[in-house]
């Protein structure tokens, strides 16, 4: 049995769809962290079967909406003195810049690298974003 | 007010603004000589990063018929682009010399980048398999002239709907007019991109996707044929397999209504048989002429000289 101690002050990102934790880990730059961080993959979950969890032993400040772009169903728990003091469900932002990469090989962003990758939300329910340049659809959690 | 605006997407202008362009195009068609000096001393730059015959000629002829001048390149190898210059830098330089810029580019969204760096109007003359808004102006002007309306039409689009930028643009623009419906005829591999059908679904516009032209041709007011474009395929085998899936011929035209019109952005390769060129319902060459007039109107409006 894998044991990871609870954290005293920091953040726990829970209910990450199994397999997406590592992407979130890198997106948050946690591979460069100089504080305690744990990425737990394929943890048993009553509701999800398997899930990923990220525990961060530090009061980091990051944009939680960005997490929704990887998995809109995550829960962000803010921990103080070993207690959850706040739960945040991130919402999809209206516009994102340089987080999603356009997968269309014919998009101008594939060759002109100085251009920011800009996507705008077109369907919140389906989690669909559209590339500002080529209209390619990016679906959160699928692409 | 259209002066100084860019045209990157067919929906950049409202239906009212499009009417303004079409009304002016109608005036030019009535008496073209009256507008011979409208753009005297103005310069149009044509930046064609991809081959084109009719679109480039049409723009150049339009500017020359308005009394203006044209500079530009018809292939990137003959410009600084071959040295690796970015779109942003090319545009910032060209905008120092020209009053209006027309750009065709194989990469989708390139004209939008251009517009972000240009102090003068940029017109998208086709970006990859994405959009071709001035072809759409041509198409809408043709439909308006023949059908006397842009509403309540059943528009069939047939052929390469995946990479067919003229189709994407036409659907996007025509879906803004009330009661139009779309019949999308293509093999599974060449269906319209998801964003096109997602738009139609969001707006609640009726459309159907089918594979057989014969089954639906009798229901159409407009049949918009397209070429399967070799240059859009990464795989030659796929192109060879799909290029002759649809051929419109006299036999198929017998199934169509007498008031249906056949349109095509041209060039055609094999998808429209020569035996229907004399059919009064074949409008593709008349459509090409409307293209020049509507571009004359567009240039004038964006330069603010009309």
Q: Which residues of B touch A110 (CB under 8 A)?
A: 107
pLDDT of residue A2: 65
Minimum mean pLDDT among B39-48, B111-120, B193-202: which range? B193-202
Predicted confidence at residue A142, as pLDDT, reads 77
Cα B295–Cα B297–Cα B302 angle in degrees, nearest 5: 95
Nearest by CB to A106, which of B108, B113, B198?
A: B108
> What CA–CA distance (Å, rounded) separates B118 from B98?
11
Tokens of A134: 């080529």
The model's pLDDT over A11-55, given as tens digits with 9 standing for 90+, comes to 999 999 999 999 999 988 999 999 999 999 999 999 899 999 999
Domain B15-131+290-303 has CATH 3.40.50.1370: yes
Please tell us whether the domain made up of B133-287 is placed in CATH 3.40.50.1370. yes
Q: For the segment B160-184, what is each residue's pLDDT rounded down to a tens digit? A: 999 889 999 999 999 999 999 999 9
The pLDDT of residue A61: 81
Residues 6+ apart with CB under 8 A from B74: B46, B48, B51, B52, B56
Query: Which domains does chain A show, CATH number per domain?
Result: 10-88 (3.30.70.140), 95-139 (2.30.30.20)
The minimum CA-CA distance between A63 and chain B, rounded to whole Å, is 28
The whole-number pLDDT of residue A141 equals 77
CA–CA gap between residue B221 and residue B156 (Å, rounded): 8
- Best mutation target, B109, B122, B132, B196, to test chain A (most A CBs within 10 A): B109
Under an 8 A CB cutoff, do B194 and A130 touch?
no
Burial B200-228 (b: 16+ CB within 10 A, else e): beeeebebeeeeebeebbeebbbbbbbbb
pLDDT (0 to 100) of residue B76: 79
The reported pLDDT for the residue numbered B53 is: 84
Give pLDDT tens digits for B7-30: 999 999 999 999 999 999 999 999
Peptide bond into B273 cis (omega under 30): no
> Measured between beta carbons, which residues in chain B are less than 8 angstroms from residue A108?
87, 105, 107-110, 112-113, 127
Q: What is the mean pLDDT of residues B85-100?
A: 96
Answer yes or no: same fold for B15-131+290-303 and B133-287. yes
Closest by Cα among A62, A58, A16 to A39:
A16
pLDDT of res. B185: 96
> Average pLDDT, stretch A102-111?
95
Rounded to 5 degrees, what are φ and ψ at B24?
Answer: -70, -40
Of A55-59, A61-65, A122-126, B66-70, where does mean pLDDT reach its minimum?
Answer: A61-65
* Nearest CB neighbour to A134, from listed B88, B109, B202: B109
| CB-based contacts of B244, cutoff 8 Å, min separation 6 | B228, B270, B271
Average pLDDT over residues B260-273: 94
A86 min Cα distance to partner chain B (Å): 36
Residue B233's pLDDT is: 60
Q: A115, B113: Cβ pair inside 8 Å?
A: yes
pLDDT band at A3 (very low <50, low <70, confident <90, very high): low
Considering only CB atoms, B107 lies closest to which of A107, A135, A136, namely: A107
Q: Which of A85-89, B183-187, B226-230 has the lowest mean pLDDT?
A: B226-230
Mean pLDDT, rounded, for A1-9? 75
Q: Using CB atoms, pick whichever of A111, A122, A133 lies closest to residue B112.
A: A133
| pLDDT tens for each residue of B140-154 | 999 999 999 999 999
- Strand partners of residue A123: A128
Q: What number of other Cβ atoms are within 10 A of residue B16's Cβ? A: 7
Mutate to test the interface with B, among A110, A135, A139, A142 (most CBs of B within 10 A): A135
Q: Where are the domains of chain B?
A: 15-131+290-303, 133-287
Nearest chain A residue (CA) to B195: A137
Q: Are strands B43-48 and B69-73 parallel, antiparallel or unpaired?
A: parallel
Taking residues B230-237, report their average pLDDT: 68
Q: Among B33, B35, B62, which residue's Cα sits nearest to residue B46?
A: B62
- Eight-state DSSP code of residue B164: -
What is the pLDDT at residue B234? 64
Interface list for chain B against chain A, based on CB atoms closer than 8 Å: 86-88, 105-110, 112-113, 127-130, 193-195, 198, 202, 234
Burial of B237 (0-12, 13-18, 19+ CB in 10 A): exposed
Q: State the nearest Cα–Cα gap between A126 and chain B, in angstroms.
A: 11
Mean pLDDT of A74-85: 93
Q: Which residues of B are annotated as a binding site for L-aspartate?
A: 83, 165, 227
Q: Identify the weakest region by mean pLDDT among A45-49, A104-108, B119-123.
A: A45-49
How many residue contacts between A and B have a Cβ separation below 8 Å? 61
pLDDT at A63: 79
The pLDDT value recorded for residue B232 is 60
Q: How much is the pLDDT for B245? A: 76
Distance from the A37 Cα atom to the nearest Cα atom in chain B, whole angstroms: 39
Residues of B in contact with A128 (CB under 8 A): 198
Look up residue A17 and give its two tokens. 């769809």
Q: Considering chain B, what percentage of its residues have pLDDT values greater than 90?
A: 83
pLDDT at A1 over 60: no
């Amino acid at each position: 049995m894998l044991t990871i101690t609870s954290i005293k002050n920091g953040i726990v990102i829970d209910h990450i769809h199994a397999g997406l934790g590592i992407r979130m880990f890198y997106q948050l730059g946690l591979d460069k962290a100089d504080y305690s961080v744990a990425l737990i993959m394929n943890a048993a979950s009553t509701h999800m079967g398997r899930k990923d969890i990220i525990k961060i032993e530090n009061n980091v400040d990051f944009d939680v909406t960005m997490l929704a772009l990887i998995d809109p169903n995550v829960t962000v728990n803010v921990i103080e003195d070993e207690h959850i003091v706040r739960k945040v469900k991130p919402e999809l932002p209206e516009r994102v810049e340089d987080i999603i990469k356009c997968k269309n090989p014919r998009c101008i962003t594939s060759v002109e690298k100085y251009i920011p990758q800009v996507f705008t939300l077109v369907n919140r329910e389906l989690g669909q974003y559209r590339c500002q340049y080529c209209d390619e659809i990016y679906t959160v959690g699928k692409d | 007010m259209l002066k100084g605006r860019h045209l990157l997407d067919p929906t950049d202008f409202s239906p009212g603004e499009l009417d303004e362009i079409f009304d002016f195009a109608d005036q030019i068609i009535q008496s073209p000589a009256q507008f011979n000096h409208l753009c005297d001393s103005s310069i149009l730059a044509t930046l064609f990063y991809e081959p084109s015959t009719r679109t480039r000629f049409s723009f150049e002829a339009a500017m020359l018929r308005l009394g203006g001048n044209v500079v530009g390149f018809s292939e990137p190898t003959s410009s600084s682009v071959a040295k690796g210059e970015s779109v942003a830098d090319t545009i910032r330089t060209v905008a120092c010399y020209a009053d209006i810029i027309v750009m065709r580019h194989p990469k989708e969204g390139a004209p939008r980048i251009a517009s972000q760096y240009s102090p003068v109007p940029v017109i998208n003359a086709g970006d990859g398999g994405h959009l071709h808004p001035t072809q759409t102006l041509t198409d809408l002007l043709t439909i308006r002239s023949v059908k006397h309306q842009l509403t309540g039409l059943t528009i069939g689009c047939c052929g390469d709907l995946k990479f067919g930028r003229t189709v994407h643009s036409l659907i996007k623009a025509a879906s803004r007019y009330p009661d139009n419906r779309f019949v999308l005829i293509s093999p599974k591999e060449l269906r319209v991109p998801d964003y096109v059908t997602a738009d139609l679904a969001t707006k609640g516009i009726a459309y159907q996707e089918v594979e057989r032209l014969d089954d639906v041709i009798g229901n159409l007011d407009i049949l918009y044929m397209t070429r399967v474009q070799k240059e859009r395929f990464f795989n030659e085998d796929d192109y060879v397999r799909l290029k002759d899936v649809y051929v419109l011929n006299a036999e198929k035209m017998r199934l169509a209504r007498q008031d249906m019109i056949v349109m095509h952005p041209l060039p055609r390769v094999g998808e429209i048989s020569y035996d229907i060129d004399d059919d009064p319902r074949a409008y593709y060459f008349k459509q090409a002429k409307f293209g020049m007039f509507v571009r004359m109107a567009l240039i004038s409006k964006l330069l603010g000289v009309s």
